[in-house]
Structures are given as structure tokens and as C-alpha cells.
Amino acid sequence: FAPVWTILYVMMGIAGGLVWHEIDTPRKEEVKKGMLFFAIQLALNALWSYLFFGLKNPLLALFEIVLLWLMIYETYAKFAKINRFAGYLFIPYLSWVGFAMVLNASIWWLNQ
């Protein structure tokens, strides 16, 4: 039984592939922008782990995860305009990061 995050990364990869497949269409600029948002949210995802686990700074990680959630939402919106199914594949990821945001806030609150 694969961890949830593994399934979410596979879903994100499929979504990215579906959008990238549209690069040679007249919507090339939309695809490039969507993929830029995709790359940024991936980088923010990695940064959150470093801030929370590496630096052990739940407050800084909380600010960052809010930014991450917003960037995931923007990626979802951009992807959904290009390929509706690709957008739908981001909904579980949005939910998971929303849950992680609540946990992050709770940990920060309980440890202040």
C-alpha cells in the first residue's frame, strides 16, 4: 500500500504530462505558464520539508505552506483551462496540503 504522497506525486506527474502534451498547440503560452507554476509549486513543496523538518521552524513553514497551497491552486486553475482532467488530478493534492497546513498550524500553536 503506497503512501498517500506517492500517489499524489504520480497524479501530479500525469497532470503535468497531459498539459505538456499540449505544448505544440496554439495554446503554447498557456502551457508554458502552467508548467512554470507547476515547477514553482514543486520547489515550494521541497522547501516546506526543509523548513519544517530541517530547520524545525513550524512558523516559517506555516507561512510557506500557505504560499504553497495558493500556488497549487493557481496551478490547478491553469491546468484545468488547458486540460480539465489534468486540473481534476490536482484536487486531492490541494486537499492533502490543506490538511498538512492545519497540522502545521496546530503544531506551531501547541509549541509556542
- pLDDT, tens only, 27-46: 999 999 999 999 999 999 99
**Reported pTM:** 0.93
Structure confidence at residue 5 as a pLDDT band (50, 70, 90): confident
Mean pLDDT over 2-20 rounds to 94
DSSP state of 54: I
Number of neighbouring beta carbons within 10 Å of residue 33: 16
| Cα 87 to chain centroid, rounded | 12
Residues 18 and 86 sit within 8 Å (Cβ to Cβ): yes
Grid cell for residue 63 = 507561512
